[in-house]
Structure 1
């Protein structure tokens, strides 16, 4: 006796299960993280001290980690085509340093300094692509090296100090508010929507998924595999460069030593995002939900008086759990 099954968006459910139960199971599989996030927000509201309004607490949550959104989008793009990129932290650092360094220390117009920062980011992305796609060198080795080189050059460019002195009027570009939230939040939300549309509703997105699933089959299907892989590294570098620019402009400067702090949150958000919306796949919307799920947890721990080491433990544990769950889901999808 055989049991037939029905598959909906990578989730396989036996046919003998009632339609209502199938729908419920699919929703829970896709949006369990969202439900957990809502529960966490409610707990956070309950923990807020009496002199702090729940609205302000939630606004604080949504006003944080926008750089992680930019950086994680780049990682989502590279991971979705089967690549791995560690260099985003270094590219982010040197781009953030380049704007104030070129403008303040070397007298460049701010607009030209911004262009210079983007050019530096794209050059580093092109180096990654040339060595990994062109020469076939291991992506972990190359991007780890690029991260180190970019981070070192950031210290050189900044003369090993925190470079500041940008016009404070420019900060409104990043820190100005709309509907009570900083512009940075809306930039991140817009980028997530754009990347989600490209990956989910365009030929480029279908090619990315094909390449990520099986490069050999994608090549036989006529897809320009090398171009897709190169484009992923350039897009990741561009997003890291944009993140650096908006942060340095918003803060009036940047300390290159702080870039490494974004590594764990970024990877935790990317892998945890594979359990939401499109289970088993790297996807922008799932990453966005996961990023704010994580910061909600960190903020809640801080309200309980747990700071410092607990943040590293929380992000590290979240990364381990996320990678484990992602691995299991991807095996189910491939099966």
Structure 2
């Protein structure tokens, strides 16, 4: 294979998810009634906000060759914490700050800190104690979700403070601020991964942890920081989730983890680590959101959604294996 053909193939592999997204949008626009509308595309971007932010944190861990199954439960815990403190109905305590605009940044800080604390615990046990990432984060997924149930008593918090809810109501260029927050997160995190030593070190660790350590890079510190960031970003996703629902319920966010995994892998982040870019993850999130929207417009039962999501996760893993095989033959 010539060097020119090799570059073309590598470009296609790196941007495959964007081609898939364009194909799916074109197909749905042609065959699904009422799909090709500005309002529908706006809804797709808006609906992908929470999943998109959660996928960023998950991608940061997966690119290192590790796993974090706790992000869904962490988001739920952050949302419930914000709901209990700043909702005025249900189990909400109705906390209000003065001036009132402080309620939004303080609630965001609380959500991020709650997520970061769980992430730091995961990082310490996995990196510091050398325990298995799959088992530790699976345990966190279970005990954090149990904590949400215990704290809430199975009840909901409703009527979120207006200063926080404002971010879901206020629009800029047709999109709510929550969608812009998700887009900003992708832009910033993409720049961090591509342009900073920390981002490059995470990818190097996923490619070959031993060689990265021998190169003088502080592997343990970077790995722990990746888990803390994953937890903190999941906390941000929980904050956005609370805004979308104007409160929190005990089962909030159930099922998001599998969609996040599908988005990350379809977006080009290898489950083996060392390969991946966050712009592709955003395309994967938009792809899943587009499919969900089309299913709703076609009026298919909810069971079809679960089947399709399961198949997408399987397809994502198969696609990752196929791409890795092609890259190995190109090397």
Q: Same fold (TM over 0.5)?
A: yes
Partner of 1:9: none
Which has the higher mean CA deviation after the structures are superposed, 174-183 or 93-102? 174-183
Secondary structure in 2 aligned to 1:86?
coil
CA RMSD of aligned residues (A): 2.3
Kindly indicate whether residue 72 of structure 2 is the aligned counterpart of residue 78 of structure 1. no
- Offset at residue 280 of structure 1 (A): 8.1
Structure 2 counterpart SS, 1:165: strand
Aligned pair 1:288/2:282, yes or no?
A: yes
Residue 115 of structure 2: which of 106, 111, 121 is its match? 121
Asked if residue 163 in structure 1 is aligned to residue 157 in structure 2, the reply is yes
CA contact (8 A) 2:263 2:281 kept: yes
Q: Alignment partner for residue 42 of structure 2, among 59, 67, 90? A: 59
CA shift for structure 1 position 48:
4.9
Residue 206 (structure 2) pairs with residue 223 (structure 1): no
Asked if the contact 2:112–2:234 (Cα under 8 Å) also holds between the matched residues in 1, the reply is: no
2:100 equivalent in structure 1: none
Task: Report the Cα offset of residue 227 of structure 1.
Answer: 0.4
- Summarize the Cα distance change of 1:141–1:116 in structure 2 as closer, same or farther, 3 Å threshold: same
Q: Report the Cα distance in structure 2 between the residues aligned to 1:283 and 1:292, rounded to whole angstroms.
A: 15
The answer to whether the 8 A contact 2:112-2:233 is kept is no
Report the more deviating stretch, 153-162 or 84-93.
153-162
> Residue 328 of structure 1: CA displacement?
2.9
Which residue of 36, 39, 56 corresponds with 2:20?
Answer: 36
Q: 1:69 to 1:160 in 2, by over 3 A?
A: same
Q: CA deviation at 1:269?
A: 0.2
Question: Structure 1, unaligned stretches of length 5 or more?
Answer: 1-13
Question: Is the CA contact (8 Å cut-off) linking 1:208 and 1:228 kept in structure 2?
Answer: yes
Q: Distance in 2 between matches of 1:58 and 1:41?
A: 9
User: Which residue pairs with 1:5 in the alignment?
Assistant: none
TM-score by length of 2: 0.88
Instruction: Determine which structure has greater relative contact order: mean sequence separation of CA pairs < 8 Å that are 6+ residues apart, divided by chain length.
Output: 2
User: Shift of residue 331 of structure 1?
Assistant: 4.2
Deviation at 1:114, TM superposition (A): 4.1
Deviation at 1:118, TM superposition (A): 2.7
Compare CA radii of gyration and give the structure with the larger one. Answer: 1
Q: How many residues are matched?
A: 316
Deviation, structure 1 residue 231: 0.5
Aligned residue among 289, 305, 309 for 1:315: 309
Structure 2: state its 5+ residue gaps.
97-102
Instruction: Verify the 8 A CA contact 1:91 1:147 in the aligned structure 2.
Output: yes
